[in-house]
Structure 1
Amino acid sequence: MSAVATGKKIVLLAGPGESTDILFHALDEEFGVHRVIIETPISQQQLLKRRTQKLGYATVAGQILFKLLIAVPLAKASQLRLKNIRLQAKLDNRPVPDDRVLSVASVNSAECIAALQELQADVIVVNGTRIISKKVLTSVSCPFINTHAGITPLYRGVHGGYWALTQNDRAHCGVSVHLVDPGIDTGAIIAQALIEPTSEDNFVTYPLLQLAAGLPLLKQAVYDALRGEVQLKKPPTGESRLWSHPTLAEYLRYRRMNGTQ
């Protein structure tokens, strides 16, 4: 454990999943994680309803087709590559121990606010949650830090690495560590790094490459936050855009145009 973390409390506020497991073990080894608060994910039915209201039936239908016909088979075919990335980056994806977990219905619930206030964390690391409300962010005085799979503010939303490649924008294919605000990936930038996908990589493996590249940045950000020395970076220039999941037609078009997998 880092000496600077002695007597300090780091809380992980997250959704369930492999990235949360990996973040927990990386941070626990470096600093010691005091507690992991995990929210219950939004149901698929509710998620589809919200997407349809925002994007329309045609787009959501295309996203569902992409998941069924491309993403699921691609995930099965990419298991060896994913395993090699974990080995090369020394990523530990064992489940978070049950005795370290506090479950809540939502990060925006009253029970979550009460837990955060009781835990009195010095730093809260966020991963894979729904958008956190201002009420939660202001309920405690410590910083909330997030790792985003994309270079913000150019690639906000989801699959930032993939979308950068579809735009032939390798100069912004990477990962960001930033402070959390009530917006969608709009918080002030602490650090950013690029990834270099190989011919073996694809839509399924990009996020794991981004996580591996982001972990050293996150550790440094937590270290600086514990010392009260976080320094913010100037964002890259360009259009700030919110990206969603690709549709089947989009994926096939970009694969034909520039080979993005």
Structure 2
Amino acid sequence: MRIVLLTQDDPFYLAENIDYLIKKLPPYAKVVATVVFDVSPFGKRESFTDKLKKTYQIFGPGFFVRYGTKFVMSKLNKNKNVKHVLETHGVPLIEIEGNINKAENREKISAYQPDLLVSIAGNQIFKRPLLDLAPKGCLNLHTALLPKYRGLMPSFWVLKNNEKYTGVSVFFVDEGIDSGPILVQRKVEIGNRSQEELIKYTKQLGMDAIIECVEKIESGNYTLIENDESQMTYFSFPTREDVQAFLAAGKRFY
């Protein structure tokens, strides 16, 4: 099974998890290429300076300093670099310009003859011609229990809303946002985890769920879980007021 990954150059959590995924995939599955998008933590493309300003304004100085330091340290540690991890495994990068759905970008991906596309923090909306490139479809990892908590930063919202449980969902991508049928879903008790602890835990759990999906797709023996539109909730990026409510509820970022 030939897999093309669609991911982003996240400096905090993704490199070690992609390394884990590639190492743990079954022998019949191989990541043959990867598209690495620019990081877009706020759900849209912004300049690096705008990202810094927005992080400081929304999350405050403590958060800004901690993650600013982690960002700098990640740049000094090759093992925290997604592209370096891919290079270590001999996985070529597919260089694209602009939107992934453009015909010339689809042609570059199609040249690797993917059987399956796998999106991990893929931050563009995929259109039908792209989804149809791979005969086995396109999977996406979402770190929440769909259909609840569609959208951005579910780890923040489940904590702010005092949820007892969260989880991961791996689903077949359609042209909506986190709306396709679910192949594997795993539930997690949140307990007293901070957001950082929850992200770390669910990211690795998500890699295991992707591997389970690959095994199910290879066998052809699976039952899809409905991603019920009538039960959905959707969240965008938090505001400063949301962060204040998060902290007032005794929740922790780290």
TM-score by length of 2: 0.75
* In 2: Cα distance, 1:36 partner to 1:181 partner: 22
From 213, 218, 242, the counterpart of 1:226: 218
Correspondence list, 1:43-62, <5 A: 47-48=45-46
Amino acid at match of 1:145: L
AA matched with 1:180: V
Deviations 1:53-104 (A, max 9, x none): xxxxxxxx8765124535334547999xxxxxxxxxxx99772216412222
Query: What code does the residue aligned with 2:217 have?
Result: A
User: Mean alpha-carbon deviation: is it higher for 15-24 or for 134-143?
Assistant: 15-24
| Residue matched to 1:57 | none
Q: Are the counterparts in 2 of residues 20 and 128 from structure 1 also a CA contact under 8 Å?
A: no
| Corresponding residue number in structure 2 for 1:137 | 131
Is the Cα contact below 8 Å between 2:141 and 2:170 reproduced in 1?
yes
Q: Work out whether residues 150 and 159 of structure 1, in 8 Å CA contact, stay in contact via their aligned partners in 2.
A: no
Report what 2:120 is aligned to.
127
2:61 matched residue in structure 1? 69
Kept after mapping to 1: 8 A contact 2:152/2:235? yes
Residue of structure 1 equivalent to 2:152: 158
AA aligned opposite 2:211: K
| Cα gap change, 1:92 to 1:212, in 2 (>3 Å) | farther
The code of the aligned residue for 1:159 comes to: M
Q: Distance in 2 between matches of 1:197 and 1:70?
A: 23
Residues 74-89 of structure 1: pairs in structure 2 closer than 5 A: 74-75=66-67
Equivalent residues of 1:160, 1:174 under 8 A apart: no
1:97 aligns with 2:87: yes
Contact 1:134 1:181 in 2 (8 A): yes
When residues 71 and 110 of structure 1 are mapped into structure 2, their CA distance, relative to the original with a 3 A threshold, is farther
SS of aligned partner of 2:148 = coil
Q: CA RMSD in A?
A: 3.4
**Structure 2: 5+ residue stretches without partners:** 48-52, 72-79
The alpha carbon displacement at 1:145 in A equals: 0.7
**Matches of 1:241 and 1:43 in 2, distance apart?**
22
Alignment partners' CA distance in 1, 2:215 and 2:223: 12
| Alignment pair present for 1:188 and 2:181 | yes
How many residue pairs were aligned? 230
Kindly indicate whether residue 34 of structure 2 is the aligned counterpart of residue 37 of structure 1: yes
Match status 1:252 vs 2:252:
no
